[in-house]
Amino acid sequence: MAVDTVTLALVTVIYLAAVIGLGYLGYRRTKEQEDFLVAGRKIHPLVLALSYGATFISTSAIIGFGGISAQLGMGLVWLTVLCIAVGVFIAFVIYGRKTREIGQRTGAVTFPDLMGRIYDSRFMRYACAIVIIGGMPLYTAAILIGGARFIESTLAVPYDMALLGFAVIVACYVILGGLIAVMYTDALQGGIMFIGMTILLLLTYIYLGGVVEAHTALEGLASMVPAGLAAAGHNGWTAMPDLFSSIWLVMITTLVLGVGIGVLAQPQLAVRFMTVRDNRALNRAVLVGGIFVLMMTGVAFTVGPLTNVWFVETTGMIAVEAAGGNVDSVIPLYINSAMPDAFIIIFMLALLAAAMSTLSSLYHTMGSAIGYDMVGTYLNATPSMRTIQAGTIGMIIISAVIAYILPGSIIARATAMFMGLCAAAYLPAFTHGLYSKRPSAFAAKVSLITGAGMWFLWTAFVHLKESAPLGISKLLFGTDALLGMPWQVVDPLVIALPLSALALGGALIYERTTADIRSTEDVRD
């Protein structure tokens, strides 16, 4: 660590004081259940855009995916394209408007609640809540681990204490201030992230002699691509990998499609569309959201590959090699080695902000899923705010326990897994529910079960990166993956999502056909 720890600790304390202040403001403004769950439906567009972006972009997107781009190259810019086109434009314009309008019309206050009301189905509400409660703690634990590791390395706090402190500080303002506190703090954190990433891009190009010079130098390093990566399709850091090579499949199916499409059906993001008063707020948020996501992902996926130039010029080694083979260490090592002390502090705050903003949103979504949706559906009544807060506390404890148990290497994997699961389980049913004049609960159930089930089967028995550590396939069939290449590097989302959509279509045709037959028979009778 190049920066004086006392200075960094002081700045961190000031930042935390600001976060706690905004959390307190959220607490003061949280009077009733609707305030806690959907921020009273009166959030400012700028706060919405920054909160959405800061929740979407976690530390793993900057550090993890930035490090992966240092290894695989600028091809990840296609993830930036999808993040802006799908994650912002389509999400707000196509999904956001309908979600907000239906949410306001039906009084829905959570994602499972929205699905339950659209389909008039307790099953859909239960099932959506169960996917959140079952899948989100792993993702939350991964964010907790990332944040705690960051605090441990930068502030020299023991890991266990860092994990506990991180979990408790975020928990305090989520439990007391609900979504208002979460979104206010998100906006501050998003602002810090934006400043940090902008300076990172500018300084990188200045250090490398300009835009064209930096890219030309990176292109000249193509001969330094490790032999193993070159054999797997890597063509240098300014070129796409060979079409359908194993690197191409990982880059496109897991990283670009997995995250780029997965973002559409994230419950913690979808609920944000219901926090604004009208569609004007959503329109205005598109403007800010597009710029914000470009600066987060675009900068990470550009600076990541360019670190190779800096490391080769200063150490003679490519970035991953200089980082000891650990892609997650590339960006922090580059920041600490290349950047001035003042920027290191800003960037470290940006990373802490990225972790906290995502974590607070996940806490809130899990808490409302169990405290509001599960309890509410079970009791067939509206739970009190204390019940929702108690549910939030329970899910925070479960996530913290999982974080203590899990290995640190799970961070990026858990992020992609959760996004894939959400898209496969929810996306076709969510789309159908928003846009169909006669949404079919039967078709939605078939789609959700098919999507979630297929995602699990492919994860447990085919996709090697998950099936090997899970060990279910090995236990039952004596092999880590039931299918060979290239299937074992194809992301579960790419298989499960189309099947989920097909299942929805098939169920709709079946239902409408049998209804027609029944009505014909009724006429005959």
Partner 1 sequence: MLGISDPQIWIGYGLALGWTVACIVYGILMWNREGADENGS
* Residue ranges binding partner 1 (CB under 8 A): 74-75, 77-78, 80-81, 84-85, 88-89, 93, 97-98, 101, 211-216, 218-219, 235, 238-240, 278-280, 283-291, 294, 298
42 or 97: CB nearest partner 1: 97
Longest dimension (CA), the chain: 86
For the bound state, the minimum distance from the C-beta of residue 219 to partner 1, rounded and expressed in Å, comes to 6
What are 119's two structure tokens? 């389909």
106 or 283: CB nearest partner 1: 283
299 or 489: CB nearest partner 1: 299
What distance lies between CA 261 and its chain's CA centroid? Answer: 11
List C-alpha distances in Å: 353 to 55, 80, 144, 233, 410.
10, 20, 12, 36, 20
DSSP for 378-436 reads HHTSPPPHHHHHHHHHHHHHHHHHHHHHS-GGGHHHHHHHHHHHHHHHHHHHHHHHHH-
22 or 48: CB nearest partner 1: 48
For the bound state, the minimum distance from the C-beta of residue 285 to partner 1, rounded and expressed in Å, comes to 8
CB 330 within 8 A of CB 319: yes
Residues 20, 184: Cα–Cα separation, whole Å: 10
For the bound state, the minimum distance from the C-beta of residue 431 to partner 1, rounded and expressed in Å, comes to 16
345 or 434: CB nearest partner 1: 434
For the bound state, the minimum distance from the C-beta of residue 242 to partner 1, rounded and expressed in Å, comes to 11
For the bound state, the minimum distance from the C-beta of residue 117 to partner 1, rounded and expressed in Å, comes to 17
289 or 420: CB nearest partner 1: 289
97 or 413: CB nearest partner 1: 97
29 or 97: CB nearest partner 1: 97
41 or 463: CB nearest partner 1: 41
What distance lies between CA 370 and its chain's CA centroid? Answer: 20
CB-CB neighbours of 198 under 10 Å: 12
H or E element that contains 84: helix 77-84
For the bound state, the minimum distance from the C-beta of residue 278 to partner 1, rounded and expressed in Å, comes to 6
Write down the residue that tokens 């993702």 correspond to: 139
For the bound state, the minimum distance from the C-beta of residue 495 to partner 1, rounded and expressed in Å, comes to 25
DSSP class of 240: P
93 or 195: CB nearest partner 1: 93
For the bound state, the minimum distance from the C-beta of residue 101 to partner 1, rounded and expressed in Å, comes to 5
Residues 62, 237: Cα–Cα separation, whole Å: 18
For the bound state, the minimum distance from the C-beta of residue 25 to partner 1, rounded and expressed in Å, comes to 26
Residues 262, 253: Cα–Cα separation, whole Å: 11
Residue 120 burial by Cβ neighbours in a 10 Å radius (0-12, 13-18, 19+): exposed
What are 265's two structure tokens? 């059906």
For the bound state, the minimum distance from the C-beta of residue 69 to partner 1, rounded and expressed in Å, comes to 12
Write down the residue that tokens 């959503």 correspond to: 282
Residues 100, 279: Cα–Cα separation, whole Å: 8
Residue 219 burial by Cβ neighbours in a 10 Å radius (0-12, 13-18, 19+): middle
